[in-house]
Amino acid sequence: MLNSITFPLSQTAAELAPFRVMKILGEAKALQAQGRDIIHMEIGEPDFPSPDCVAEAAYQATKQGLTHYTPSLGLPALRQKLAEFYGYFYHAEVNPKQIVITPGSSSALQLVLTALLNPGDKVLMPDPTYPCNRQFVHLLHAQSVAVPVDEHSHYQLTLSLLEKHWQPQVRLVMVASPANPTGTLIEAQELQAMAHFLAARGAYLLVDEIYQGLVYQRPAESLLADKTLPKNVIVINSFSKFFGMTGWRLGWCVVPSALVEVLDRLAQNLYLSAPTPSQYGALAVLEPNALVELEERRQQFQARRDRLYQAMQQAGFAPKILPQGAFYLYWDISRWSQDSETFCRQLLLQQGVALTPGTDFGLQQGHTHVRLAYTNDRIEEAVERIAAFLASLS
């Protein structure tokens, strides 16, 4: 009866690009189910489970009956504790009232973009960048302007790139430090200069610090330590990566005071509040004991990064730069392929190594790049297999 009737999707949903990484992950799992040995370097999730203290603290709270909604802006004690953490870890003075706890940093991103963007507004971001950034912009009927960046600016936007690509319709610029998929940083001075450039033009600077803490051979930093920062800077952060709490779905943002009220209203409507057990768990992960464990993990990631970079160098396909943070390495494959999706699929089929095609991160350079995530420990083996695959191509 209903075959003749169509129920079309919204245009934005129909146009929404899938994550290529999920497709590769699906194919990798299917091969595993057939008995193949797969090395997973596609997923941006630490292989470590959450520190034990998180499960313990969440349990202590929930078995006492602390299972109700929290305020939409987050548990006051967690906002306070995060402010203190900024103080002793990053020497940054942050007012707890400007910290908004969210169910994952995805929700923080959504709150902020929904608060700021009208249809047709433009958002400047680098290519490559985290895929959700342009998707959120698209869902709000705004327009992302992707600026190609390369190894010369450490795959990051700079003040001079902003000057060059500036348009009056730009409401917001999105950067990340450390960045996904490149693992590179932006120096604080550059960020400050960008913030002032944008403030003078009535635009916001959104800084994704989701991989904050996972920085190698130099101290981790927060832009918020700068007391002269203009009031157009928004910082997004997460308990997923450094704190290893992916499945608990907890993030936060630090925003100018003027935005708190509207983010509260949006949070009430979009999700009510972040998960209560996760918020109690996060209180524990900010304690000194947990931080010792997290520092050991950070050192493991650093050792993996070094092993990956050296193994690739020795095998004759060194990446252009050594990443400084996160757990990613972005690799130019243009010597071997102009089609990263086919490259990844063949590498997976022939050698059982799963990587993410660059097309997830940007369409201008994505076809000639792939992302390696050192989220597991089979580094040298993976590089040997990749080398064998490259040999088969020539």
Residues in 7-66 that interact with a copy of itself by CB under 8 A:
7, 9-14, 16-19, 22, 45, 49-50, 52, 54-56, 58-59, 62-63, 65-66
| Residues from 202 through 231 that contact a copy of itself (CB under 8 A) | 202, 204, 230-231
Task: Work out whether 238 is an interface residue with a copy of itself (CB under 8 A).
Answer: no
Cβ 60 to a copy of itself shortest distance, Å: 9
Radius of gyration of the chain (CA): 21
Name 122's bridge partners.
143, 170
Cβ 306 to a copy of itself shortest distance, Å: 25
Stretch that binds a copy of itself, among 4-12, 151-159, 309-317, 377-385 (CB under 8 A): 4-12
- Residue 330 phi/psi, 5° resolution? -105, 125
| Alpha-carbon separation of residue 32 from 40, 306, 345 (angstroms) | 11, 28, 14
Residue 265 tokens, joined: 């209203």
Edge-to-edge strand ranges of the sheet holding 328-332: 328-332, 369-373, 356-357
> Can you tell me the distance from the alpha carbon of 332 to that of 37, in angstroms, rounded to the nearest whole number?
26
Q: Which is nearer to a copy of itself, 18 or 168 (CB)?
A: 18
Cβ 217 to a copy of itself shortest distance, Å: 28
How many of the chain's residues bind a copy of itself (CB under 8 A)?
A: 82
Cβ 218 to a copy of itself shortest distance, Å: 29
Number of CB atoms found within 10 A of residue 217's CB: 10
| Residues from 274 through 333 that contact a copy of itself (CB under 8 A) | 274-278
Stretch that binds a copy of itself, among 76-84, 88-96, 263-271, 314-322 (CB under 8 A): 263-271
Q: Which is nearer to a copy of itself, 16 or 349 (CB)?
A: 16
Of 120, 247, 257, 350, which lies in the binding site for a copy of itself, with binding defined by CB under 8 A? 247
Cβ 313 to a copy of itself shortest distance, Å: 31
Cβ 26 to a copy of itself shortest distance, Å: 10
Stretch that binds a copy of itself, among 148-156, 262-270, 328-336, 337-345 (CB under 8 A): 262-270
Q: Which is nearer to a copy of itself, 63 or 152 (CB)?
A: 63
> Can you tell me the distance from the alpha carbon of 283 to that of 77, in angstroms, rounded to the nearest whole number?
8
- Taking 3-state DSSP, the helix, strand and coil percentages for the chain, each rounded to the nearest 5, stand at 45, 15, 40
Task: Work out whether 391 is an interface residue with a copy of itself (CB under 8 A).
Answer: no
> Can you tell me the distance from the alpha carbon of 93 to that of 38, in angstroms, rounded to the nearest whole number?
45
Task: Work out whether 246 is an interface residue with a copy of itself (CB under 8 A).
Answer: yes
CA angle 77, 81, 84 (to 5 degrees): 145
Cα-based torsion angle of the residue sequence 286, 290, 293, 299 in order, rounded to the nearest 10 degrees = 10
The H-assigned helical ranges of 16-73 are: 20-33, 52-63
Q: Which is nearer to a copy of itself, 78 or 333 (CB)?
A: 78
Q: Which is nearer to a copy of itself, 278 or 356 (CB)?
A: 278
| Residues from 82 through 141 that contact a copy of itself (CB under 8 A) | 103-104, 106-107, 110, 114-119, 121, 131-132, 135-136, 139-141
Cβ 252 to a copy of itself shortest distance, Å: 15
> Can you tell me the distance from the alpha carbon of 170 to that of 336, in angstroms, rounded to the nearest whole number?
37
Cβ 161 to a copy of itself shortest distance, Å: 22
Of 80, 193, 256, 317, which lies in the binding site for a copy of itself, with binding defined by CB under 8 A? 256
Of 272, 292, 349, 393, which lies in the binding site for a copy of itself, with binding defined by CB under 8 A? 272
Of 154, 249, 369, 385, which lies in the binding site for a copy of itself, with binding defined by CB under 8 A? 249
| Residues from 175 through 204 that contact a copy of itself (CB under 8 A) | 199-200, 202, 204
Q: Which is nearer to a copy of itself, 86 or 204 (CB)?
A: 204
Upstream peptide bond of 128 is cis (omega within 30 degrees of 0)? yes
Q: Could you give the 3-state DSSP secondary structure of residue 218?
A: coil
Answer left, alpha or beta for residue 142, where phi above 0 means left and psi between -120 and 50 means alpha. beta
For tokens 């832009």, name the residue. Answer: 223
Q: Could you give the 3-state DSSP secondary structure of residue 371?
A: strand
Upstream peptide bond of 168 is cis (omega within 30 degrees of 0)? no
Stretch that binds a copy of itself, among 240-248, 282-290, 341-349, 378-386 (CB under 8 A): 240-248
Name 328's bridge partners.
373
354 in Cβ contact with 348 (< 8 Å)? yes
> Can you tell me the distance from the alpha carbon of 215 to that of 330, in angstroms, rounded to the nearest whole number?
16
